[in-house]
Amino acid sequence: MTERLHNLLLRQSEAGEPAILWGRLAKPFLGKEFDRLLHRGVLIEETPADDWDVCSDCECGHDSRRIQRIDGKLIAACPIDHRSDTVLEPEDLRSFRINLKSLVREIAVASGFTAEPTQVMPGVWYLGVAPAKRGLFLAFTRNNILAPGLISSLRTTGEKLPITIVAPALPVGDLLRFAEAGIHYTSIADAFSPAGTAFAIDAEKLVPPSSIAARLTLIREQSKIVLDGRELKLPPTGFKIMWLLAETAIRDNGRVSSQQIEKHLWASTVLRTAVGDAIRNLRKALDGNDMRGKHGDPLVQNLTAQGYFLNLEAADIRLVN
Ligand SMILES: [Zn+2]
């Protein structure tokens, strides 16, 4: 058996509902695991077929042939030429519907999620927070992926974490749409390791390769930052600000106010311009060493009324004590 039952079900599911597994296709897989999936409601047996396709090139004019039991054999008889009769096995008459909701539940459990998956849009499920702190989504059909509003729906559900979506193979245009939105995409064919545990998503495939190595590392002991491999030793004040910004970014992608920086740096009241001066010195040091954040924009940014923040993804930042 070259293909495993699980891979077959995942592949059949990419056709969307109703996803049907015909008995003839299921035959090599009948057995213990098949029965378990029937029991779990992932597979639902349909009423057995009582008719069959007409034989090829038939001139009988019928849409289908009734299946008859003749001498203990199941036969789809041709009304014109009995040499065209088809002898069927009992399994040929069976068919199974793949219940996508139950299949998603099976995948969630096998992948270590404890909460019930939630459907955020037709055919798109949220599984929960995956290792490496990413919101994980699963979709089976291309149509589900192309639905308008998908990306904003993922963002709303994704608990402000970086997002990974496991979905069918997509054309380049759709891949770009995800890349531009900062969403990591993995195909169903890649996400489930063929040799791994049945229905378990391979955690390694959920992280984009670029963020496995952090872009920015802060090393406290040496008062040093490393960005994209370039090192810079900072004066104590500058380093403390960077640490505070990095910690806040990792914790909740948050902003840091002037007052918070002041409190963090100095025990007593200081001149009103002190924080501004400290930030200016830090920025000067970063710029002078060409240390920049996303899209080549300044690394330390300031939004009026919101505060200061690091212009990097939280997943790209690492703290070393
Ligand atoms: Zn015929």
Tell me the domains of the chain and their CATH numbers: 5-98 (no CATH), 100-211 (3.40.1390), 216-320 (1.10.10.10)
CA of 58 to the centre of ligand 1 (A): 4
The mean of the pLDDT values for the chain is 87
Q: Please give the distance, rounded to the nearest whole angstrom, from the Cα atom of residue 76 to the centre of ligand 1.
A: 9
Q: Which residues of 62-96 are buried (b: 16+ CB within 10 A; e: fewer)?
A: eeebebeeeeeebbbbbeeeeebbbebeebbbbbb
Pairwise CA distance, residues 186 & 188, whole Å: 7
| Helix, strand, coil tally for the chain in percent (to 5) | 40, 25, 35
Separation of CA 208 and ligand 1 centre (Å): 55
The pLDDT of residue 1:
43
CA of residue 48 to ligand 1 center, whole Å: 22
**Joined tokens for residue 248:** 């806040």
CB 290 within 8 A of CB 188: no
Residue-wise pLDDT for 106-145, tens only, equals 999 999 999 999 999 999 999 999 887 899 999 998 888 8
Asked if the model's pLDDT at residue 313 lies above 90, the reply is no
Query: How many C-beta neighbours within 10 Å does residue 276 have?
Result: 13
CA–centroid distance, residue 221 to ligand 1 (Å): 84
pTM of the model: 0.62
> Who wins on pLDDT, 191 or 172?
191
Distance from Cα 64 to the centre of ligand 1, integer Å: 9
Cα 94 to middle of ligand 1, angstroms? 22
CA of 81 to the centre of ligand 1 (A): 6
Ligand 1 centroid distance, CA of 63 (Å) = 10
Does position 211 have pLDDT exceeding 50, yes or no? no
Ligand 1 centre and the CA of 74: distance in Å?
A: 16
Report whether 49 contacts 115 (CB < 8 A): no
pLDDT band for 316, please (50, 70, 90 cuts).
confident
- In the reported structure, the alpha carbon of residue 52 is separated from the centroid of ligand 1 by a whole-number distance in angstroms of 11
Given a cut of 70, is residue 253 above it in pLDDT? yes
Percent of the residues in the chain that have a pLDDT greater than 70, as a whole number:
96
User: Residue 53 pLDDT > 90, yes or no?
Assistant: no
143-170 pLDDT per residue, tens: 888 888 899 999 989 878 889 999 998 8
